[in-house]
Structure 1
Amino acid sequence: MVKRVISVTGDAYHQRSDSKDYIQHALDLLDELVHYENIPIEKLTQALSENPDLLILSVKNQIEGPQDSVKEWLTPEISDKIVSYVDKVGSWLALHSGMSNYPLDSTYIDMLKGYFIMHPKQVAVTYQSYLAEMPSEFTITDEQYQVGILDDYTTVFMRSFSSYGESVAGWRHFYGSGKVAGYTPSHNTTGMADDTNLLILKTVITWLLKQQSSVRWKRFL
């Protein structure tokens, strides 16, 4: 059966089409065919009810309202629906802004285990991957996300290094019947097109799409 991947991309600081194509290029590297669909944030709740194999979020927790007002879109109800989807059936990837501006006390961040703190201006950033499947490194001009990790119940597989210091850049863990990962690169299209970056992202997606055993894991050490 062809697996289904849905992405939600695009916000005030990130072009929807850029992130959509970024994900498409990584999916093109997979060893299996998948059905890929990109949707606006307004359709996320409906998509969750359809139980796709993987949902990729690359949107910060802000939407523009009337008269240039800004509000958060993640309500407690939507947060709980995301967690229920992962716990029972699917996998989740927070890509770049998909971890940005979300409440630390939300069930979403409790599930994700990582959260955006801030980023300096774009500089040369070196990413080092410690994945057993894809140990490598690459350097791009990027926003170096400073990321906090809630607890030890996840595995950090990539770190970033720049003149501003170092930070977590990628992590993953099991959650219920699903899997969860966070991946911070990249803000711009040049970084999105980097071959090594795409191979690492493809490796993360492969892991997320791989079926778990029947054992339901809440923790991955």
Structure 2
Amino acid sequence: MWGVRGRLLRSLSGRREEPGAREWEAPSVAGGAARQDPGIDALYHHRRMELVRLALLLVDDLPTAEDVVQDAFAALYRRHGDRLAGVDDPEAYVRRCVVNGARSVLRRRRTVRAYVPERPGLAPPPEEDVLLREEHREVLGALRRLTRRQREVLVLRYWSNLSEAQIADTLGLSRGGVKSTASRALDALARHLEVPR
């Protein structure tokens, strides 16, 4: 069981950090005076790809994931402008927008699929399989079989490296709810990965 769980955790947390990703923090003004708030451009430049990857794991479709992230930044700009002085934690704000946008996409897909039968024999794009190693494909396949809430908790925990408190805030759950959901999700993933093919 721990072998499967270890493989899962390595796969989910194996992301590479974007160059300059840690540089998003606002620079201090000389003399220790008030800090200048970074603008939306800096946030977009340093966090866009990380947020696209987060959305991709939630919606399973790169163009849609990019649209979700773009919509989140557009909403942030419409509401707060290019200087983010009025936002306590812009990164958490835009991350929550991405998760909510992914949920909306999945709700729309469910509605469409309820009325339009899915065509048989559709295969994923060939470049998707080429880019992923077999181990990652197995983990992502098992991840897709989880409930939406379980998938969100695991992706935010092991892909985005958020704390339980940040996940609880992002998803509107209690910390205990995050813990129990993560535990059940890891057990379910382990079961899915152990099933012989």
Q: How does the TM-score come out when normalised to structure 2?
A: 0.29
Tell me which protein shows more strand as a share of its residues. Answer: 1
Q: Which has the larger radius of gyration?
A: 2
Tell me which protein shows more helix as a share of its residues. Answer: 2
Bigger relative contact order (CA 8 A; separation at least 6): 2
